Amino acid sequence: MAATIDLTHEGTVLVAMESTACDPHHTALPELSGLSSITSQNESVDGGEQQLRVFLRVRPFSKEELNNNEDQGCVVFESAETATLHAPKGSATMKCSEKGIGQQVHKFSFTKIFGPESTQAEFFDGTIRSQVQDFLHGKNALVFSYGVTNAGKTHTIQGSPKDPGILPRAIDAVFRHINGRLYEQMDLRPYLNSDVQKLDPDQLRMERSAKTALFSMLKEDSESTRTSRSRSSSSSSVNSLSFSGVSYDQTVDSAEGAVDDVQYVYSLWVAYYEIYNEQVYDLLQPALSNKTKRRAVLRLCEDSAGNSYVRDLRWVNIQTAEEAAKVLRVGNKNRSAAATKMNQSSSRSHSIFSIKLMRIDGADVQGISELSLCDLAGSERCNKTKTFGERLKEAGNINNSLLILGKCIAALRNNQGDRAKNSYIPFRESKLTRLFQGVFCGRGRASMIVNINQCASTYDETLHVMKFSAVAKEVVQVIQPRSLESLAPRLIGRDGKPLLNNGVLDSQAVDGYLSEDELLDGDEEADMSILPQEELLNLVESLRAKLLAERKKNLLQEIQIRREMGDAMMQQIMEIEELHSRQMADLKESYEEKMDSTFEMYKEALKEHAYQCALERLEEEICPTR
C-alpha cells in the first residue's frame, strides 16, 4: 500500500482552483453484462425514481482577481442548498433590467452547495461517495462537471498531488472496498458495451506488452518533467499527479464492504478518451512523432442490443491505485489543451475517464458495472476569450455539444411533466449525449457538478450556467428494474462468445441465452396470490410456456435469416468476382489481338523501309558519276 497523508482536517482555504489540469502540450440500453447481473444489497428490484442530483461548487478568488476588483458580491449563499446571484454594474443582465427586461436578482436551489472554503475531501464525501458505493454493488454511475472556462472543473475532478480530486478518491475507495480480493489475471477484458471477452494466451501476452509499453511512455518523459518542475513553481501539474495523498475515514467503507460475500474477486479496467471537435480520440494511444499525421478517430457504435460504445477503445487492467494514476497522467499528456485569454491551459475537449468493475465468482463473471467521470470543456464567449482560427472552431464545437446536452435535459424534464406528448430528445445530435443516453434513460444514476467563479466580469456566463442547472435539477431519473437490466445482449453468450460458432448454431448457448429468468420481465409475471381459480393458474402457465417457445422460435429465425443473408451476400460477391474475371480475360484477349496487329503493321513497315533503302543504295552504286 502506498503511504497516505491525512487530508481530513485541512484548515486552510484552497487557493484558486486550476481550471484545467492538463499538460499544455497537448433506445433503452442494458446496464449490465450479458453474463449475469449485479444488484446492490439495498437496490429495489422494481427500480424507482430519483431526482438528478446537482451540486454547486464555487471557486475561490485568486489574488489577481481580487486586485482587479472582481469581488462585487455577485454570489450570495442563503443556505446550504440555495444561492442568489446579484447582477453587477456593467453586466448585460444589469443593462437589460434597467430597461425593464428581466431582473437583477436570481435565486437557485441545488442538492448541496460547497463554498470556496470547502475541501476536496468534504466535497467527495458530500457528493459522489454514495454513487461510488452503488457502483461497487453493481450500478452504473455517471458524474459530469459543467461550467464556464476557468471555473475549476478539472481541479474538482482530478485535483493535485497534495489535494486529490474526486477521481483519485473514487479509485482509492474502490481499492479499499476490494481489500486484497483482486483478480490478478488479465484474461477477462471488457467487450463492446457491457460484455466480457475471454482472452487466449496470445492475446494475454499482447495485453501485458501493451500495458508495459503504456507505462514506459512516462519513463521517456521523466527527465523533461523534472526540468519543467524546476523551472515552474506550480508543481501541481497533472504529469506528477499521484493518488497516494488520498486518506479519509475507512470505517464506512469497511462496513459497507462487509456486506459482500468474500467469495467474490474483482477485476478493474479503465479507459481514458476525449471528444474533440465532435471526434472521439483515445488518450492512451502513443503520441504521434510526426505532427503532420492525424490521430486515429474512433467510431461511436452500437451493439446488437442498442448499447452505445466506443469501438477500438483501449481498456487497461489496473492492479493498484498508482497504476490508475499513471494511466491518468498518460492521458493528460495527450489531451487537447490550449491557452486563451481567460485560461492559460484551457481544456478544448470533453474528457471521459471510465472505470469498469467485474465481479467474479470462481471462473464465472457475475456482473460488470461502469463509473464514468466526464470533465466537460468550459462554455465560453469568443469575444471574452479572444479566440480565433483553430481556437474559434474548437469553441464552436464545445458550445454546440453543450447546447445539445441542454436540449436533451430540457426535453427530459418536459416529457416527465406531460408524458402524453413525449417530445423528441436529440441524443443522437452530439457524440457526448449519444454516449451517455443509456444513463439519462435510467440505466444508471447520474450526478451533475456545477462549477462557477464569483467574478463580476463573467457574471452573464455564470447566470447561464445556473439557469441550465435549474432545469437539470428538475429531471427525475426513472431507474429501470433489475429484470430489464439482467437481459443478455442478443447473440452474445454468457461466456462472451457469439451464439454462432463457425456458422454452426450452438444449441447449448441458445438454451443458456434463452433462460426463463432472462426472457420474462418481472412486470409480465402475474401475482398468483390474487387468483382464486385453479383454471386461471393453469392458463397462465400454459401462456408462459407458449411465450418461451415463441421467443426461442423468433431468435432461431433471426439467426437463420442472418445466416441466409450472409450466404446470399457471399454468393453475390462470388458471382461478381467471376464476372469481373471473365471481363478481365476478354479485355486481355482483346488487347493481345490489338498488340499483335500493331506489331505486324510495324513489322511490314520496317520491311518496306528496308527495301526502299536497299533500292536507293543499289541505284547509287550502278548509276555512273560524271
**Residues marked as binding for ATP?**
147-154
Using CB atoms within 10 A of its CB, is residue 365 exposed (0-12), middle (13-18) or buried (19+)?
buried
Which runs of E-coded beta strand occur in 265-349? 265-276, 279-282, 300-302, 308-310, 316-317, 337-338, 346-347
Helix ranges (H only) for 474-533 are 482-485, 507-513, 516-519
| Beta strand 337-338 pairing with 82-86 | unpaired
CA distance 367 to 196: 9
Buried b (16+ CB within 10 A) or exposed e, 447-482: bbbbbbbbbbbbbbbbbebbebbbbbbbbebebbbb
CA distance 397 to 14: 32
For residue 195, give the H/E element and its range: strand 195-198
275 strand-pairing partners: 280, 350
Q: CB–CB of 460/163 below 8 Å?
A: no
Q: Which of 488, 482, 474 has the alpha carbon at shortest distance from 48?
A: 482
Identify the residue whose cell numbers are 445556473: 466
CA distance 596 to 583: 20
- Grid cell at residue 577: 468476382
| Beta strand 195-198 pairing with 53-59 | unpaired
CA distance 466 to 470: 6
Annotated binding site: 147-154
By three-state DSSP, how is residue 273 classified?
strand
Question: What single DSSP character describes residue 247?
Answer: -
CA distance 94 to 377: 27
In degrees, rounded to 5, the angle at the alpha carbon of residue 358 between the alpha carbons of residues 275 and 515 is 110
